[in-house]
């Protein structure tokens, strides 16, 4: 039995060049920070509304990190806020996921955060801030 010159166990191998394409995908938490920076306001279901109160410079260089000052973000607690479709669309755009999956991922992330708050732990959204639940049930942002 004669095999082609490039074969393994009789299966011919395809030899060619492969280009590794760098795809940039972000996680839910990173997408939320980008959304807040772009839109200056973000409403998360069951939690409340975050907003940036001071003007930030426009980002033209993606390699340069954005520094958000400590007092730049404010928070208004509102547990009755529903899902914001524009956040879901933004997550779909940046994570390359289908819309139902992006919605489920956001809901899962926020549910986990609410569970942390309910057991007395802090819920931190990196580069935005930390939420703590007071004894009165109100969320405090720092």
Strand pairing category for 41-44 and 48-52: antiparallel
Residue 80 has pLDDT above 90, yes or no: yes
pLDDT band at 21 (very low <50, low <70, confident <90, very high): very low
pLDDT digits (tens, 9 = 90+) for 98-126: 999 999 999 999 999 999 999 999 999 98
Residue 102 near residue 84, CB atoms below 8 Å: no
- Tokens 């940039």: give the residue: 24
Q: Is 58 exposed, middle or buried (0-12, 13-18, 19+ CB in 10 A)?
A: exposed
Please name every residue paired with 52 in a beta bridge, in sequence order, or none if there are none. 73
d(CA 110, CA 29): 10
pLDDT band at 47 (very low <50, low <70, confident <90, very high): very high
Q: What is the pLDDT of residue 86?
A: 95
Rounded to two decimals, the pTM is 0.76
Q: Which two tokens stand for residue 101?
A: 């999956």
Residue 99 near residue 6, CB atoms below 8 Å: no
Residue 129 near residue 72, CB atoms below 8 Å: no
Distance of CA 129 to the CA centre of its chain: 14
pLDDT digits (tens, 9 = 90+) for 124-140: 998 888 999 999 989 99
């Amino acid at each position: 039995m004669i095999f082609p010159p490039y074969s393994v166990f009789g299966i011919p191998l395809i030899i060619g060049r492969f280009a590794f394409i760098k795809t940039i995908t972000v996680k839910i938490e990173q997408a939320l920070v980008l959304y807040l920076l772009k839109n200056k306001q973000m409403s998360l279901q069951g939690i409340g509304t975050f907003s940036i109160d001071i003007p930030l410079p426009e980002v033209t260089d993606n390699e340069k990190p954005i520094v958000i000052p400590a007092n730049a973000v404010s928070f208004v607690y509102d547990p009755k806020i529903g899902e914001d479709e524009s956040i879901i669309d933004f997550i779909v755009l940046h994570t390359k996921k289908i819309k139902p999956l992006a919605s489920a991922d956001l809901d899962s992330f926020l549910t986990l955060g609410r569970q942390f708050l309910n057991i007395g732990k802090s819920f931190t959204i990196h580069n935005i801030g930390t939420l703590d639940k007071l004894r009165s049930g109100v969320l405090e942002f720092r």
